[in-house]
Structure 1
Amino acid sequence: MRNFYEAGRSVTYGVNGAVATSSTHASQVALTILKSGGNAMDAAIAACAVQCVVDPMQTGIGGDCFALVSMGGSSEIAGLNGSGKAPGALTADFLMGQGFTEMDQNSPHSITVPGAIDAWTRLHEKFGSMAFSDILQPAIDFAENGFVVTQRTSIDWELGVPKLLKNQAASDIYLKNGKAPAAGTIWKLPKLAATLRVIASKGRSAFYDGDIAEKMVASLKAAGGVHEEQDFSSVSADFVGSITSEYQGNTIHQIPPSGQGITTLIMMNILKKYDLSGLDPNGAQRLHIEAEAARLAYLARDKFVADPTKADVPLDMLLSDEFAEQLNSHIDVGKAGDPTGAYALERHRDTIYASVVDGNGNAVSFINSLYMGFGSGIACPDTGVIFQNRGFGFVVDPDHLNCVAPGKRPLHTIIPGMVTRGDQATICYGVMGGGYQPVGHSHVLTNIWDFGMDPQEAIDSPRAFYNAGVLEVEEGIPASVRQELSDMGYQLQDTAMPLGGGQIIMVNPETGVLSAGSESRKDGCALAY
């Protein structure tokens, strides 16, 4: 329970519906959709579309989308992998011939074909209830008539200025006289509004075929890319079953590879071997065990996780208790482990996650991203679309499972989360932050189950992130704890910005009460009624 003598947020409660996003604009739109008769999927897509406008460095229609869905609160969880693939002409041999030994985050070769719009339309066709044009209308209104830039968004926008200045179209669309908008500024995106309006009217085909696709391909070719119109027209999101792990009678659901959701499950399989509940939730011992679980889970991810249609990913082995026990044998409690190779990928502030549960129990865990801030930084001048740089998740090594290849999906960081208990969905959640996300998922869930925190407390709790031998710690970690961690052998580093961003909605299966929490490190909020 919150200490009301301290600054903070209260849990948001409701019974007819709840939404939690990192944007007040998006949360209000999602709640309005629910109140007007739309369901959780309608609200999630509407919220995401709004954030593609008002948080353009975080996400966009030039990015990717993943979702986990429970209809009617069922424990039967549907997943969707809406990540794009490498263009058909992109090979490791081509890149090595161009002098690349690794992927370049700002190169057009890091741009995989955007999967988001295909994902939205497939999710809407299967689970939505409102007209698609009505769902996208709030986003169109914001882009056309203007939106007010919020505080955290203004900071992240400013951080993207050097990247935007490298591309004339991106600079023209997202900067004014070479500068980012300050908080409180009204900003318009008319070209993006026009593109969204065509998509709202004509659906998926308007984005992947015809005039819009032609213009996007032309801009990619002008930047040096090898993309073709066929790469766009062949985009297809995949409905998948979830992969799971058990923790204290709860079933944790994640999207299977090509995403890194399995990393969360590996971490939780290690963590359940410890009695975390007897530890200080913000103490050195808890953060140490979490860091070691992360170190080993990321090592496994980087060795085994890739696009399963192009590589043999040993799911059963990775999720087995035997594998968790094998990893756990490499943890020396009280001592930092060998950091060699434990690289969690870059941590980024640039993703949006929305959690929505409606009055019929439908729950949608929805995540959409450009990867890094403003993605590749390359924009299409005619459509207002800025392209992701998800191809940075590939490696340029023909012997590696995750080597770049035509039509292949890269190792992907964005992961929605869902929890069921018995035959009901009980937690709809996600924690943004690039490579940080598996740690964020594990930290929040163990906050709830081992330390009895409510959804808002679980999100607000101070965070740490182990990455390549460095343990990044937030300001909330006390000096005494930092010293203990340093004495264990960790190299500590203050975080440049707060770690990640989470949203949670918990469902009480007995009363139907929804309890929602929203990330205090972002601009958004949880709303319910």
Structure 2
Amino acid sequence: MPVDRASPRGTASSPPANRSRRAPACRCSSAAATRLTPRSPPEARTGTLHGLNASGWAPSGLTPALLKSKGVARMPESGIHAVTVPGAVAGWEALRARLGTWPMSDLLAAAIFYADEGFPVSDVIAASWMGLTEKLAAEPDAAKTYLPDGRAPRAGELFRNPDLAGSLRLIARHGPAGFYGGRTADAIVAISREKGGTMTAADLSELEPEWVEPMSTTYRGWEVYELPPNTQGIAALMMLNLMEQFPLADYGFHGARALHVMIEAKKLAYADMLQYVGDLRFAGTPIPGMLDKAHAKERARLIDPASAARAVAPSVFDGLTTSAGGDTIYLSVIDKNGNIVSLIQSIYRGFGSAIVPPGTGFALQNRGALFTLDETHPNALAPRKRPLHTIIPAFMRKGDTRIGFGIMGAFNQAQAHAQFVANIVDYGLDIQQALEAGRFTKGTFTGADVLVEELVPQAARNELATLGHEVAAVPPRTGTFGYGQAVMSDGSGVHFGASDPRHDGAAIPEAPPVFGSLG
């Protein structure tokens, strides 16, 4: 999660007339500020961009040899062996302790209230929930928690989760120790043991998030930042380096030539990302070479302006050889001093593993599914190793203009980030327009297939087909292309927020009231 510490400056309550599409971004409400007595931030506002990687690791007893001995030939998509140690709670505390001003009890008060009292289920969430009924019904504790009355909640119905409220209260009172120790940890270890897993109390209690230096590239004068491996963020930066070799603005917004370049850049960048990205504590991802501008210029020559590639080979760096071959939320916020947080968290597939430790109210994720059992690969499963993560918060800036953004959607994310940046830099869109614009996505890693949103003109889609792209048109405003949010602060100190209409997010001028502290 990139975190930008800005110099203090005044804020405006509304955007200027020429930017009326952007709502003022989130800031602390006056009611909350009056009630609370925040401590001083532990770190000066230095203008520095920080990165925090709170992804969890594999249990210490989980190895490729163990899975192969059980007849498992590839990492399972579901089940206990796809579960890695949850990292979000440790990440919340690391962020709060270093850069926050409120105690954990106040931060979690509203979430506890809604878990206890219930919240109305939106249309979008209800539809997704219903589609996961069979998955939840297969796990008794998941069914008990998430299928009240034996079915998924319908749109408009209140959903309550008192067990989750209890788990959050333990965190509010005891910090991470209330999750990685005590009854919550006991429940996680017990369900793992019951299902043949290897997770131990030490795997939970010894997890530590990592403060990291964000990676960056420049794109036509803008600095663009992503978190380093084990995330896929490097693919977005590589795409931008490749796209920079072509005059996309001259090709026109939603022009077929521009889309062709971006689709081909996606293929090249993802080939390298899938070949080389792994946990940097275990594997040496060649980041400097992958982000080298000269390398991008050479690699861009592989993009045929008249034909779509069906397969691309990854690059070779530093003598390395090549081998053959959602359930996410994102938020961005600006505080009254102009500090920006870009944060994303996920349990991967819908309801993760669907394994709910009894009495906790939450499902364990299945992020371990992204490991490989090929022990020669940088992303090979190993004890206490973090898998490749699809979730990536992002940040871009030029001069005094700073934008925090993210677009959910598994392996769609990096390619959507590159399109968002191009919409702003090449086509002059504001952050709301940049999110609303039609997108493409290619969820496969070979072939010429590509999904293109019908917001892209028919003529452009037809021209892509003549170039050899196997275009499938998808109705607009669906989850196929991910869901994004963004905030921006410009040189005048005005703050803006934008929310993708493909989902049920919102740009909120002020945070909702904070419910009372826990007793």
d(CA) in 2 for partners of 1:162, 1:447: 39
How far has the Cα of 1:256 moved from its partner?
0.7
d(CA) in 2 for partners of 1:311, 1:499: 31
How far has the Cα of 1:443 moved from its partner?
0.6
Per-residue CA deviations over 1:343-380 (Å, capped at 9, x if unaligned) read xxxxxx42111010112011100111111111111111
2:23, 2:498 within 8 Å by CA — same for their partners in 1? Answer: no
* 2:112 paired residue number: 140
* 2:499 paired residue number: 518
The answer to whether structure 1 residue 503 and structure 2 residue 479 are counterparts is no
Q: Which has the higher strand share?
A: 1
1:241, 1:255 within 8 Å by CA — same for their partners in 2? Answer: yes
* 2:382 paired residue number: 405
1:75, 1:425 within 8 Å by CA — same for their partners in 2? Answer: no
- Secondary structure of residue in 1 paired with 2:369: helix
Per-residue CA deviations over 1:51-79 (Å, capped at 9, x if unaligned) read xxxxxxxxxxxxxxxxxxx974x542100
**What TM-score do you get using the length of structure 1 for normalisation?**
0.85
* 2:130 paired residue number: 158
1:146, 1:187 within 8 Å by CA — same for their partners in 2? Answer: yes
How far has the Cα of 1:11 moved from its partner?
2.6
2:407, 2:482 within 8 Å by CA — same for their partners in 1? Answer: yes
* 1:326 paired residue number: 298
Amino acid at match of 2:407: V
How far has the Cα of 1:166 moved from its partner?
1.5
1:282, 1:477 within 8 Å by CA — same for their partners in 2? Answer: yes
The answer to whether structure 1 residue 383 and structure 2 residue 360 are counterparts is yes
Identify which of 205, 213, 222 aligns with 1:241: 213
* 2:269 paired residue number: 297
d(CA) in 1 for partners of 2:20, 2:202: 50
Moved over 3 A (4+): 31-35, 494-498
Rg larger for: 2
- The CA RMSD over aligned residues, in Å, is 1.9
2:23, 2:507 within 8 Å by CA — same for their partners in 1? Answer: no
The answer to whether structure 1 residue 217 and structure 2 residue 194 are counterparts is no
The answer to whether structure 1 residue 414 and structure 2 residue 402 are counterparts is no
How far has the Cα of 1:34 moved from its partner?
6.8
1:368, 1:414 within 8 Å by CA — same for their partners in 2? Answer: yes
Task: In structure 1, list runs of 5 or more residues that go unmatched.
Answer: 1-8, 20-30, 43-69, 343-348
Alignment of 1:448-467 (within 5 A): 448-466=424-442, 467=444
Amino acid at match of 2:441: F
d(CA) in 2 for partners of 1:257, 1:206: 29
d(CA) in 2 for partners of 1:285, 1:351: 32
- Secondary structure of residue in 1 paired with 2:441: strand
* 1:474 paired residue number: 453
d(CA) in 1 for partners of 2:196, 2:391: 27
d(CA) in 1 for partners of 2:29, 2:275: 43
**What TM-score do you get using the length of structure 2 for normalisation?**
0.87
* 1:60 paired residue number: none
The answer to whether structure 1 residue 228 and structure 2 residue 200 are counterparts is yes
Per-residue CA deviations over 1:196-244 (Å, capped at 9, x if unaligned) read 0111011011100122101111112222211111110111000011111
Point out the more displaced range, 476-485 or 401-410: 476-485
Point out the more displaced range, 396-405 or 169-178: 169-178
Point out the more displaced range, 159-168 or 445-454: 159-168
2:308, 2:468 within 8 Å by CA — same for their partners in 1? Answer: yes
C-alpha change, 1:340 and 1:324, in structure 2 (3 Å) is closer
Same amino acid, percent of matched pairs: 36
How far has the Cα of 1:341 moved from its partner?
7.2
- Secondary structure of residue in 1 paired with 2:148: coil
Alignment of 1:123-134 (within 5 A): 123-134=95-106
- Secondary structure of residue in 2 paired with 1:446: helix
d(CA) in 2 for partners of 1:525, 1:158: 23
C-alpha change, 1:141 and 1:99, in structure 2 (3 Å) is same
* 1:182 paired residue number: 154
How far has the Cα of 1:493 moved from its partner?
2.5
Amino acid at match of 1:354: L
d(CA) in 1 for partners of 2:75, 2:33: 45
